[in-house]
Amino acid sequence: MRNTTSVPEFHFIQLSEDPDLQPVLFGLFLSMYILALLGNLLIILTVSSDSHLHTPMYFFLSNLSMVDIGFISTTVPRVIVDIQTHCPVISYVGCLTQMSLFIIFACMDDMLLSVMAYDRFVAICHPLYYQVIMNPSRCGVLLIGCFLLSLLELLLHYVAVIKFSNCKDYIEISNFFCDLSEVLKLADFDTFTQNIVRYCVGALFGLLPISGIIFSYYKIVFSIMRSSSSSGKQKTFSTCGSHLSIVCLFYGTGLGVYFSSSLSHSPRSNAVASVMYTVVTPMLNPFIYSLRNKDIKTALRKILSRAF
């Protein structure tokens, strides 16, 4: 392994070089970060304080909120400091740390959404066996499995980025954080090897969770179509609607980042697309659930009535 002191620091691009826009960007990122923290913490507090919500569905939801807090905290506080100090610079170790945490939380989000789809599949298609299948032990195993798979994805990527071929003192990353795709461009591997690593890991940790979600909802829709109760259909759609909205938001913004980097040659356009994925998604998730879910809204009213 080469001496890492040859790569002392990385420089991020700024979302805007206009001095008049810096206070606006600072206020925008700070507001979104506070909103995301409050929203996700409120979901965690609501689920933990209401015994009616101590079910597998809300267990995974509260863990998704914790992961979202980690996800947004990996990038946004650093952006806020960089805007304030006008110095978007990070060390070699800091860059690898930020990239590692980002991969773990992004993969955890991905895996948890798949597990939540499986939970809905069991609840709707096998209601009589739901308590047996989704028992506390199995829920714990599924959660630990999500974390271990996230660590595995990190290790697979780490093999490709642990060495750098660029020995310049000034290295620019075309994003506002240490994005994996940008760091891979600096890796001491040829383009073919980079693509093999990216596509294999993407197929394993991207397509498998998506396939699980699609299969679960295929079975759910098939089960709904066989049901003769219109009220049962409405309740099922209401239960799954929040999760589907979050799935569409997560993968939709992720695809937006991918297509933006493929079609656009402007680093700032790619950075703006990354904001949607890294900041807007974890900020909106708790509000999607709280606005569409009757149980969450009822529990929130109880908490607010006790507080005031």
Angle between helix 22-49 and helix 281-292 axes, rounded to 10 deg = 40
Residue 150 scores a pLDDT above 70 = yes
Average pLDDT taken over every residue of the chain? 84
Residue 21 lies in a domain: yes
Residue 2 lies in a domain: no
Q: Is the Cβ–Cβ distance between 67 and 105 less than 8 Å?
A: yes
Residue 270 lies in a domain: yes
**Residue 284, Cα to own-chain centre: how many angstroms?**
11
Asked which of 8-17, 166-175, 285-294 is least confident by mean pLDDT, the reply is 166-175
pLDDT at 229: 66
Residue 38 lies in a domain: yes
CA distance 281 to 256: 12
pLDDT digits (tens, 9 = 90+) for 30-54: 999 999 999 999 999 999 998 889 9
Quick check: helix, strand or coil at residue 91? strand
CA distance 258 to 90: 24
Q: Is the Cβ–Cβ distance between 92 and 7 less than 8 Å?
A: yes
Residue 28 lies in a domain: yes
CA distance 298 to 295: 5
CA distance 126 to 282: 31
Counting residues of the chain whose pLDDT is more than 90, the rounded percentage is 41
How many structural domains comprise the chain?
1
pLDDT band at 189 (very low <50, low <70, confident <90, very high): low
Quick check: helix, strand or coil at residue 158? helix
User: Once rounded to an integer, what is the mean pLDDT over residues 214-235?
Assistant: 79
CA distance 38 to 277: 19
User: Once rounded to an integer, what is the mean pLDDT over residues 178-191?
Assistant: 72
Residue 167 lies in a domain: yes
> Which residue(s) pair with 10 in the sheet?
90, 171
Residue 135 lies in a domain: yes
87: burial class by Cβ within 10 Å (0-12, 13-18, 19+)?
exposed
- Tell me the whole-structure pTM to 2 decimals: 0.89
Give the range of the structural domain holding residue 266, as residue numbers without chain letter: 7-307
> What is the β-pairing status of strands 89-91 and 171-173?
unpaired
CATH number reported for the structural domain that contains residue 264 in this entry: 1.20.1070.10
Asked which of 57-61, 142-146, 175-179, 303-307 is least confident by mean pLDDT, the reply is 303-307
Which residue in 116, 109, 151 sits closest to 277, CA to CA?
109
Residue 285 lies in a domain: yes
CA distance 198 to 188: 15
Which residue in 161, 172, 198, 163 sits closest to 271, CA to CA?
172
